[in-house]
Amino acid sequence: QKEVEQNSGPLSVPEGAIASLNCTYSDRGSQSFFWYRQYSGKSPELIMFIYSNGDKEDGRFTAQLNKASQYVSLLIRDSQPSDSATYLCAVEGAGANSKLTFGKGITLSVRP
């Protein structure tokens, strides 16, 4: 059973702070890693993906991947109240027909 674990929440940070969201996965052969954001009552939307070890930056968002330690994280710099949402980590396993496995999500609240 492939597992994707996200650190327990909810997470609350003040406006302007850095929010750090972590995710670990069990399948060592996993290939691609995704972060989705889901506002309350809405559908998930992609923030960014990463498939190479290291950091990937996109605006205020940075994804960090460490395959040896089997974790992927998302940093949100200069957090804004509009960043308040649930963040879902998703992992693609190994194999040609592998599907995405989602974590349970972590809810972020950014305090004005």
Partner 1 sequence: IAGITQAPTSQILAAGRRMTLRCTQDMRHNAMYWYRQDLGLGLRLIHYSNTAGTTGKGEVPDGYSVSRANTDDFPLTLASAVPSQTSVYFCASSDSYAFSGANVLTFGAGSRLTVL
Among the listed residues 40, 69, 82, 97, the single contact to partner 1 using CB under 8 A:
97
- Cβ neighbour number for residue 32 with a 10 Å cutoff: 15
- Stretch 57-76 residues interacting with partner 1 (CB under 8 A): none
Q: Which is nearer to partner 1, 19 or 65 (CB)?
A: 65
- The encoded tokens of residue 16 equal 């302007």
Residue span binding partner 1 (CB under 8 A) among the ranges 10-18, 65-73, 77-85, 102-110: 102-110
Taking the C-alpha atoms of residue 102 and residue 35, their distance in angstroms, rounded to an integer, is 9
- The encoded tokens of residue 4 equal 């994707």
Q: Which residue, among 42, 39, 27, has the nearest Cα to 90 in the 3D structure?
A: 27
For partner 1, the binding residues (CB under 8 A) are 31-32, 34, 36, 42-46, 49-51, 88, 90, 92, 96-100, 102-105
